[in-house]
Amino acid sequence: MAFGEEMGSPLRVSRESEEQAQPAECNRESCRPDKMEERGFEDADIEAWEKDYEGVDEEDTPFSSTCSFLEPGQAFVGTQNVSSSCSSGDSSPPLSGMERDEAWRVTVRIQQCDMQRGYLCGSMEALNVPSTDTSVVTFWDGEIVDSKNYSFFTGQWDATRETDIKHWSRFPCFTQLKEAALKDGARSVDLSTFPYIFMRWKEKFFVNVGPDCGLTIAGFYYVCFNREDGTVTGYYYDPSSSPFQKLALQPQQLSSSGYTFGTFALC
């Protein structure tokens, strides 16, 4: 998520949105179409969710231990840099209401992961967002670049092949795959044992605020996940937003004995 089109104004949340932003559980059950209708979601949001919900097994699909950090319920915490500048040579002034190199605190939680289909979904909560007393939570769908279901070429969301290569190239580990990606999206490469998993995360709708909250979810994230330590790095792409907003996340450790596995609740 990023600032909306009115980037020159501080972010605003309407009174109606504030009333909706009450503590609410955000998990697969609460986001079912019938539950969403009860909670007052718009028809367009429900239809979008129904399209993705259809045909998805209720049971979470098991997957390789090398992807254990993508277990349903696993949380990742970190920041999203919402700098108004993407290069050190840019002398343009920062957006109104925010300082240069400002970062939001972000929590991402995995709701489902199906490696066979190259699909995952979850929630993203942005904290300390300017001019609002509540966090902003979105639901997102993810595509896993596995050379079978999805390639490095996005083919939608206003992303050209040039845009794809430019963003994937910001991940150092992509260097050894770049030649294959330029050729056919790396469909000829077996990525099942590659140390990193590449994904795209596309936010579908706001969970606890209305669409007039001052933020936009028109773009999507290019994501690189480290299988070994569970770290996540991403870059947000939206032609109307500041470029290369960096997402940096670490798996949330509950204690020395393991990592978090539970439902997500706003507070």
Q: Indicate the residue type of 44.
A: A
Alpha-carbon separation of residue 159 from 95, 146, 237 (angstroms): 24, 19, 8
| The CA-based dihedral angle spanning residues 224, 45, 4, 251, taken in that order and rounded to the nearest 10 degrees | -30
Q: Which residue has the higher pLDDT, 265 or 218?
A: 218
Q: What is the pTM of this model?
A: 0.70
pLDDT given at position 236: 96
How many angstroms separate the CA atoms of 25 and 47, rounded? 20
Neighbours of 23 (CB within 10 A): 8
The whole-number average pLDDT for the span 251-258 is: 61
Confidence of residue 40 (pLDDT cuts 50, 70, 90): low
Q: Which residue has the higher pLDDT, 100 or 161?
A: 161
Indicate if the pLDDT at residue 106 is higher than 90.
yes
pLDDT given at position 254: 52
On average, the pLDDT of the chain sits at: 74
Three-class secondary structure of residue 65 per DSSP? helix
Q: What is the pLDDT of residues 154-176, one digit of tens each?
A: 999 999 999 999 999 999 999 99
Look up residue 44 and give its two tokens.
Answer: 């367009």
Indicate if the pLDDT at residue 253 is higher than 70.
yes
Tell me if 20 sits within 8 A of 235, measured CB to CB.
no
pLDDT given at position 249: 97
Indicate if the pLDDT at residue 138 is higher than 70.
yes
Indicate if the pLDDT at residue 112 is higher than 80.
yes
Alpha-carbon separation of residue 232 from 2, 151, 182, 198, 247 (angstroms): 18, 19, 24, 10, 8
pLDDT given at position 176: 95
